[in-house]
Amino acid sequence: MAETAQDTAASGQSRYLTDPEEISQVFKLLRDHRTELQLRFDKETLTYRAKVLDLQGASVLIEDIQPRDGMRLLRAGHPFALAARVDGLYVHCANNHAHKSDAERNLPFFHVALPKHMLFQQRRRATRFRLPLRVVANGAQITLHPASSEAQPLVGSIIDISAGGCRAEFAGFKFRPLQDDDPLDGCSLTIPNLLEVSARAALRHSSFDSRRYILTCGIEFTEMHVTDRRRLEQFIQTIARISQPA
């Protein structure tokens, strides 16, 4: 029996998809999650962003092109490579081009032929560990630094942590202080006598409890100094011996 994209994801392997149905399923996943696509045009240094609107026959419909001058390149049929990440999945396909431009209610979108080949890679996620109660009681905090100069840093409590990120709660807000797509300058983690590191960070998901005034966030550490990375990994190894996976 042929290995499916889902089988590959479960095994953590990488391969090239060539079955149109499997490739269509990937684009449907990107559509349903409103995942940001990265478009790189030949001879252009800028990376453009887009989203999957839908699938139509043998075409993928893409919209919300940013920066907007990317629409000029699409209309001219310039070839581009497409990449995206969602739920630990990474996909990439090259030699794409828009063969038709369209609009609905004055909102433009583009028809792109379904790729014949797609790199499909499922990256294994780092195991998350809940912090022991005594560590939490001693004060395990994370401070988020929003990219907006007008926004104040947010200080919250770490729920669980992995080598790749953490989950944290931020209390005392009557209104949601951050949205899922809000950019961050970075974050700093402080666990007294055990860990103190800083990292560039991205807000991957969040939920807001309007009754308890609590924002719960999933945060990815996108870039970290080597010294801090080693400190974090040593801390993870330590709590892995005394804590259960989250």
Distances (CA, A) of 171 to 140, 217, 240: 14, 11, 27
Distances (CA, A) of 184 to 72, 106, 188, 190, 196: 30, 32, 12, 18, 19
Residue pLDDT tens, the chain, 246 long: 334 444 443 344 578 999 999 999 999 999 988 899 999 998 888 999 999 999 998 999 999 999 999 999 999 999 999 999 887 788 999 999 999 999 988 899 999 999 999 999 876 566 788 888 888 888 999 999 988 877 889 999 999 998 889 999 999 988 888 877 778 889 999 999 999 999 999 888 888 888 889 999 989 888 889 889 889 988 998 888 877 676
Which helix (H) or strand (E) element contains residue 151?
A: none
Let me know if 226 is exposed, middle or buried by CB neighbors in 10 A (0-12, 13-18, 19+).
Answer: exposed
Nearest residue to 214 via CA among 133, 160, 159, 161: 159
- Domains in the chain and their CATH numbers? 5-122 (2.30.110.10), 129-240 (2.40.10.220)
